[in-house]
Structure 1
Amino acid sequence: MTVTDPQTLIPCPYKDTCSGCQLLDHPYGKQVQSKTSELRGLLQSHELQIPEKIEFLSAGAGYLRDRLDFSLQDGRLGLYGKNAREIVDIEICAQLSPELQTWYTEFRKIKWPFTKGSIRLRVGPEGQRGVWLDFANVDIKALLDEQSILKNLQEHAFVEIGQRRKIPVWNGHEFKLKDPELNVWFTTWMGELAVKLYCHVASFTQPSLKANKLIADKISSWVNQFPQARIIEFGSGIGNLTLPALTAAKSVLACEIDALSLEGLEKTVLMLPSELKPHSQKLTIYRGDFQKKILQDFSQFDGVLANPPRSGLMGFLNPLEELSYDQRPPFFIYMSCFPESMAKDMQRLQSYGYEIKELVILDQFPQTNHYEVLGLLQRK
């Protein structure tokens, strides 16, 4: 755990109006205690047997995020307020890394020709800036026709537009939208080697590069307890957990529904540095909606690695029920930012003969009620 004074309070001029952070009045040490107690109580309410100690990992009490989504409303850019569906105009944010705060401050100078929209700002591992403009189609057309805003924006950042993540390209007369483009917007780790992850500005990644190192290290340490394991992964995304697991695993079958995420993973593997290239031979990528139907035979795997959406694992666990106790994979690694669905899934796993060996809170959302949980379960 990063050394942080338990009495640390993060200053924020918007703490009474902005809904983004709920715990600014609580010293950081109290936040650690309350999140740990909340998780313990939630899991116990599901009759789960949990370890005596819950490990707490933190990269700091604030200023961690390298990406954040903002809303535009009537000239105000910020987050929703506490008491109304109105946007609080925010100039500085205690969640943002220094690099993202600098980018956000510059971005706020833009005067938009329409009244509302969603905006994601991101800073990549080498300081590169990205913006995803998720506006209504009529507003996107207005932006393309206006031209000057996009020209200025592209001088400072890589721009993606709309749900399809199109790239605006100036042809000398007008802007045209071309297909999405993969770039390095995040980093994971294979042992002590940083790995560039290819994705889009609009792609899902963990929010903090700094905190993600703690996640990758924990996944690696757990997989290292089971050398040469054959692993099936649910929700691989762009490979943030896949690649740390590959360092010790015999093989990884990465399962994901989102085609754009898998395109990123495929390019990342293709671009691995020479010393890591041999690991790419151990990876198989499979696309499908694994919450609804899973075709793989779980008895062919030694471990499961799961990072599901908020809804949890759902039908992904069905094949385990059909196997005998001895056929089930010996270990199960579960990561989630939604402990409620995780608790339900762990209750089901416990009924299949698994027990929780280690629990970790990774606090990449300090000053808020949210936190990430990592759990290592083993077959009894």
Structure 2
Amino acid sequence: MTAIDPETLILCPYEKTCSGCQLLDIPYGKQAESKVSELRALLGNHGIQTPKHIDFLSAGAAYLRDRLDFSLQDGRLGLYGKNSREIVDIEVCAQLSPELQKWYTEFRKIKWPFTKGSIRLRVGPRGERGVWLDFANIDIKSLLDEQNILRELQEKTFVEIGQRRKIPVWNGSEFKLKDPELNKWFTTWMNKVPVDLFCHVASFTQPSLKANTFIADKISAWVGQHPEARIIEFGSGIGNLTLPALATAKSVLACEIDALSLEGLEKTVLMLPSELQKHADKLTIYRGDFQKKILQDFSQFDGVLANPPRSGLMGFLNPLESLKAEQRPPFFIYMSCFPESMAIDMQRLQSFGYELTELAILDQFPQTHHYEVLGLLQRK
């Protein structure tokens, strides 16, 4: 964990206009204290007993993000203004890693032939550059017809276009769009061994490669307290939590609704480093909407690993209610970027006989109100 200087202040020329950061005027040490107090109060208001100590994990007070989602509006590139639907034109951002800032600076030189759209820039584990252009269909067509911008982009970066993440390909006379392509855009760890995760520029990943090491370490440590555990995972995505758990677990059933994410996970497992290939047979992948219906018998598992969307676990927890106390999995690991829905789920888990024994904040979003929470619940 990076040492926190309690008096650190991050300077930003857009502090008064950009809505991206809300806490720039507060020293970083005070931000840490406030987030810990806020989480403890939130859980307490839901009747949840919290551990005496809440870990605060930080990779630094700024310059962490390796992906950026921003908007194009009338030639301006940036984020929405405070109390405004107008885009603030941003040249530099204290949230960006140095590699991403350099890529963003170069990207800003492009002159677009239309007025609005959404864009994601990404930097991969070895500095690979990617861009996802999420524009209206009519603007995508104009981009394909214009040709020069795409030619320029493809000299610098890997390009994905639209909600279907299509790849533009030059056939000698025009651009055509081909099916999505999986590449190594993120990294997790299995027992300290780095594992490249195959996904798309547009895929959901954690925002920071540097901060993600803390997540992998926590999952490994908590699963390691229950060696040879049979685990069911809700919301596996591309496998960022799956693989750290798999390194120690006896088996993992990874449940996910998004087919493109599961394609990435399947390729990642297929391409595991030779020293980790022995773990591949321990993973089973299952696709379905597990917020609404779960068919598995929870009594067949020793642990649950959950990283749900902002809406929380919803119907995923229903099968636990019908089990006797001794049939419920002995431990439950919960990770969330939305503590409000997490508190509701933890309140329900507490009623099922689980106790929150370890709790950590990962501050992936310094200078903002947001943070990631990881909790370990043990069956009493």
TM-score, scaled to structure 1: 1.00
Equivalent pairs counted in the alignment come to 380
Aligned residue for 2:57? 57
Q: Does residue 190 of structure 2 align to residue 190 of structure 1? A: yes
Q: What stretches of structure 2 of length at least 5 have no aligned partner?
A: none
**Matched residues in 2 for 1:150 and 1:134: separation?**
14
* Residue in structure 2 matched with residue 267 of structure 1 by the alignment: 267
Quick one: which amino acid aligns to residue 228 of structure 2?
A: Q
What residue ranges of structure 1 are gaps of 5+ in the alignment? Answer: none
8 Å contact kept, 1:64–1:210:
yes
Q: Counterpart in 1 of 2:131? A: 131
Match of 1:242 in 2: 242
1:252-305 Cα distance to aligned partner (Å, 9 max, x none): 000000000000000000000110000001000000000000000000000000
SS in structure 1 of the partner of residue 180 of structure 2: coil
Query: Which residue does the alignment assign to 1:67?
Result: 67
Aligned to 2:180: 180
Counterpart of 1:228 in 2: which secondary structure? coil
Deviation track 1:83-141 (CA, whole Å, cap 9, x = no partner) reads 21000000000000000000000000000000000000000001000000000000000
Counterpart of 2:4 in structure 1 is 4
Alignment correspondent of 1:25: 25
- In structure 1, the residue matched to 2:213 is 213
1: distance between equivalents of 2:346 and 2:170? 51
Q: Which residue of 1 aligns with 2:337?
A: 337
In 2, Cα distance between the equivalents of 1:52 and 1:270? Answer: 42
Determine the C-alpha separation between the residues in 1 that align with 2:71 and 2:191.
38
Q: Which residue matches 1:170?
A: 170
Give the Å deviation of 1:191: 1.0
CA distances 1:324-343 after superposition (whole Å, capped 9, x unpaired): 10000000000000000000
SS at match of 1:8: coil
* Residues in 2 aligned to 1:83 and 1:354: alpha-carbon distance in whole angstroms: 42
The one-letter amino acid paired with 1:114 is F
- Does structure 2 retain, via aligned residues, the 8 Å contact 1:64–1:96? yes
Query: Partners in 2 of 1:155 and 1:10 — Cα distance?
Result: 34
Contact 1:17 1:83 in 2 (8 A): no
Q: Secondary structure at the match of 2:15?
A: coil
2:103 match: secondary structure: helix
Check if 1:114 corresponds to 2:114.
yes
Q: Deviations over 1:153-207 (max 9, x none)?
A: 0000000000000000000100000000000000000011000000000000000
Question: C-alpha displacement at 1:350, in angstroms?
Answer: 0.2
The TM-score with structure 2 as length reference comes to 1.00
The answer as to 2:52 corresponding to 1:43 is no
Give the aligned residue type for 1:231. Answer: I
* Residue of structure 2 in register with 1:293 after alignment: 293
In the alignment, which residue of structure 2 is the partner of 1:369?
A: 369
Runs of 4+ with deviation above 2 angstroms: none
- In structure 2, what is the equivalent of residue 204 of structure 1? 204
Is the counterpart of residue 141 in structure 1 residue 126 in structure 2? Answer: no
CA–CA distance in structure 2, aligned partners of residues 62 and 153 of structure 1: 28
Q: Deviations over 1:21-73 (max 9, x none)?
A: 00000000000000000000000000111111111000000000000101000
Match of 2:92 in 1: 92
Asked whether 1:307 is paired with 2:286, we answer no
Letter of the 1:27 partner, please give it: P
2:318 partner SS: helix
Q: Take 1:141 and 1:248, find their aligned partners in 2: how far apart are those partners?
A: 49
The 3-state SS of whatever aligns with 2:156 is: coil
Amino acid of the structure 1 residue aligned with 2:35: K
Distance in 1 of aligned mates of 2:236 and 2:290: 11
How far does residue 4 in structure 1 lie from its aligned partner after superposition?
Answer: 2.6
The one-letter amino acid of 1:329's match is P
- Aligned: 1:352 with 2:352: yes
Give, in angstroms, the shift of residue 16 of structure 1. Answer: 0.4
Percent identical pairs in the alignment equals 84
CA distance in 2, matches of 1:103, 1:315: 42
State how far apart, in whole Å, the 2-side matches of 1:43 and 1:274 are: 43
1:157 aligns with 2:157: yes
Q: How far has the Cα of 1:348 moved from its partner?
A: 0.2
**Residues of 2 paired with 1:113 and 1:233: CA distance?**
45
Question: What is the root-mean-square deviation in Å for CA atoms of aligned residues?
Answer: 0.4
| Partner Cα distance (2:236, 2:86) in 1 | 35
Aligned AA (2:296) = Q
